[in-house]
Amino acid sequence: MSFREDVIAGLSAPQKSIPPKYFYDAAGSRLFERICRLPEYYLTRAELALTRKNLSSIARFAGRGCQLIEYGSGESLKTRLLIRALRPAAYVPVDISESALRAAARRLGREFPWLEILPLAADFSRPVEVPGVRPYGRRVAYFPGSTIGNLTPEQAHAFLRVSRGQAARMLVGVDVRKDANVLHEAYNDSQGVTAAFNLNLLKRINEELHGNFDLKKFAHYAFYNSAAARIEMHLVALERHAVRIGSHRFEFDVGESIHTENSYKYSLQGFRTLARAAGFEAKKLWTDRRGLFALHGLEA
């Protein structure tokens, strides 16, 4: 489905929604980078800290000379730490954005001239087949950043199942279930960067799909749904009005929302159970000092 088809279908349902993968246009990616530096958004720092602290044991688990498949464009500091420690025979970044892939491949190629980089443009919110790339040794899938949290547990199960057929081992970064107040702050930062990130989706629709969203008529709303163990992000209409996208027209009642993201949180045991149900053994667990974030080492 294209951006247009997903948006039209999502806004036509009783609970309006837009898939979170569309947050990441150029402006959205820049806003996300700013989120990662916010004092309230502990995830990025906690994952980087645990990666630094456990780098040699993580690299040992993956195995030197493996073929590393990363879901996400892999421009991050932790990816570069891992590549340096692991010296994979090949690196396959998988991302929906061709431009993000190109930029990551160019930059990593400069930093690691010895590394074979094989970028793959694909939408990993659905199961993807990573084509076989010669016998490069063990394949290890790296899925950092709690991106798996954007999937429902059912989708995460399906994703892990497909990955199991492709990679002997997986490294999955998962945000840990915790005090709802801490979670609330992380998605309601005081500088309003998360709000801008959420609202940018409407701007993107205006620019790319000829929409006429008035951004002043929507507010960022994020809360922790503890029964479902997920942060939900919404864009709430502040007044009753209609919006056009091309020839389509969508009505908003006051207080009606567009659900833009789920960000699931897992207890350590909860994620192990999910991985086991998908055919993995949870072999290793690394966490930061405060136990905010987890990296699970799974074996098929």
**Binding positions for ligand AVJ, rule: CB under 6 A:** 35, 43, 145-147, 149-150, 187, 194, 261, 263
Cα separation, 157 vs 167, whole angstroms: 15
Identify which of residues 28 and 88 has a Cβ nearer to ligand AVJ in the complex: 28
Shortest distance (Å) from residue 41 CB to ligand AVJ: 7
Name the residue with the smallest CB distance to ligand AVJ.
263
Shortest distance (Å) from residue 249 CB to ligand AVJ: 29
Shortest distance (Å) from residue 43 CB to ligand AVJ: 6
In DSSP terms, which residues pair with 225 in a beta bridge? 230
Pairs from 205-213 (Cβ < 8 Å, separation ≥ 24): 205/7, 205/245, 208/3, 208/25, 209/3, 209/4, 209/7, 209/245, 209/246, 210/245, 210/246, 211/243, 211/244, 211/245, 211/246, 212/243, 212/244, 212/245, 213/243
Shortest distance (Å) from residue 289 CB to ligand AVJ: 20
Shortest distance (Å) from residue 107 CB to ligand AVJ: 20
Q: Give me the residue label for tokens 């340096």.
A: 84
Identify which of residues 51 and 150 has a Cβ nearer to ligand AVJ in the complex: 150
Left if phi > 0, otherwise alpha if psi is -120 to 50, otherwise beta: which for 187?
alpha
Identify which of residues 10 and 145 has a Cβ nearer to ligand AVJ in the complex: 145
Count of all residues that appear for the chain in the document: 300
For residues 166-190, b (16+ Cβ closer than 10 Å) or e, as one string?
Answer: bbbbbbbbbbbbbeeeebebbbbbe
Identify which of residues 232 and 299 has a Cβ nearer to ligand AVJ in the complex: 232
Shortest distance (Å) from residue 75 CB to ligand AVJ: 13
Identify which of residues 90 and 193 has a Cβ nearer to ligand AVJ in the complex: 193
Identify which of residues 163 and 260 has a Cβ nearer to ligand AVJ in the complex: 260
Using CA atoms, how far residue 153 sits from 9, 60, 109, 264, in Å, is 22, 29, 35, 8
